[in-house]
Each structure stands twice: as structure tokens, then as C-alpha cells.
Amino acid sequence: MKDRLIGEARAAMARAYAPYSNFPVGAAILGEGGGIHAGANVENAAYPQGQCAESSAIGAMIMAGERRIREIAVMGGQPGDGLLCTPCGGCRQRLREFAAPGMTIHVCGPEGLRRSFTLEELLPHSFGPGNLAF
């Protein structure tokens, strides 16, 4: 399944709208029900109005009727640059809303997998839905 997610993230990255940063990013989520939901970053001339690939993929997952993330692949960067295009802080929190701390995040470049993390590794001691259980 990891290879399929990486392929979907690659396809999403190719469809990104990134005319300002020239840094396209794609993401593909495996939902709890088995669906794969992809998204790309969408930039805007008014920078704060842009949308990250992970956020786009979460929206696609919600619209498909799923509510939990089992696994995600995020792809960005240039071939061979070796840099890790990890989810930004805001997206880490967005992922936490729909995923357990042990959920796997595959960080990829155009050539494929660069490293895998758990959400807990990228967002330790997170604030999530359980913190609001009274």
C-alpha cells in the first residue's frame, strides 16, 4: 500500500498549483475504510490564502465520507536534493485531528521514499480530540 500512496502523491504533486514558490507538493491519504484521497498544494497571490497538499487531501477524504487516516505519503522537493518535505506545523495539527499518534507519514521526494515517521515523532505531546473529552 505504501508504494501506491507514493504513486498517488507523485501524481498529485504533478497537478499542484505553485506559481509563486515553484515548490509543488502532493499528498495521498489512506483512509480507515481503504480509500485513497489525494491533494496538492494550491497557492494564491495573497499568500495566507493558499492551501497545503495535506489539507487538500484531508478535504478529499472528508468529502468521500471517511474520518480517520491510517497512513499518508507527502511528496515535495527536487530529485536527489535529499531534503525532507515534512508536513508544516499547521498540517501536523490537521493530521492529528484525524489520526492516532502512531500513524505513519511517508516523506518522499520525486524519486520515492526518503524517510518514514510517526505522527508522534513529528508532533510530540500533541493536543488532539481526546483533550476535549469532558
Q: What is the CATH number of the domain that holds 7?
A: 3.40.140.10
Task: Identify the band that residue 133 occupies on the pLDDT scale cut at 50, 70 and 90.
Answer: confident
In a domain, 38, yes or no: yes
Is 11 in contact with 36 (CB distance < 8 Å)?
no
Give the structural domain span for 48: 2-128
Domain presence at residue 33: yes
Average pLDDT of the residues of the chain = 96
Total domains in the fold of the chain: 1
State pTM to two decimals: 0.95
| 36-40 and 25-31 strand pairing | antiparallel
Flag whether 133 is in a domain: no
Specify whether 54 is catalytic: yes
Q: Which three cell numbers stand for residue 95?
A: 493530521
Distance CA 122, CA 99 (A): 13
Q: Select which of 8, 43, 54, 66 is catalytic.
A: 54
Q: Is residue 134 part of a domain?
A: no
Sign for the pseudo-dihedral over CA of 133, 70, 30, 49: positive
Decide if 56 is inside a domain.
Answer: yes
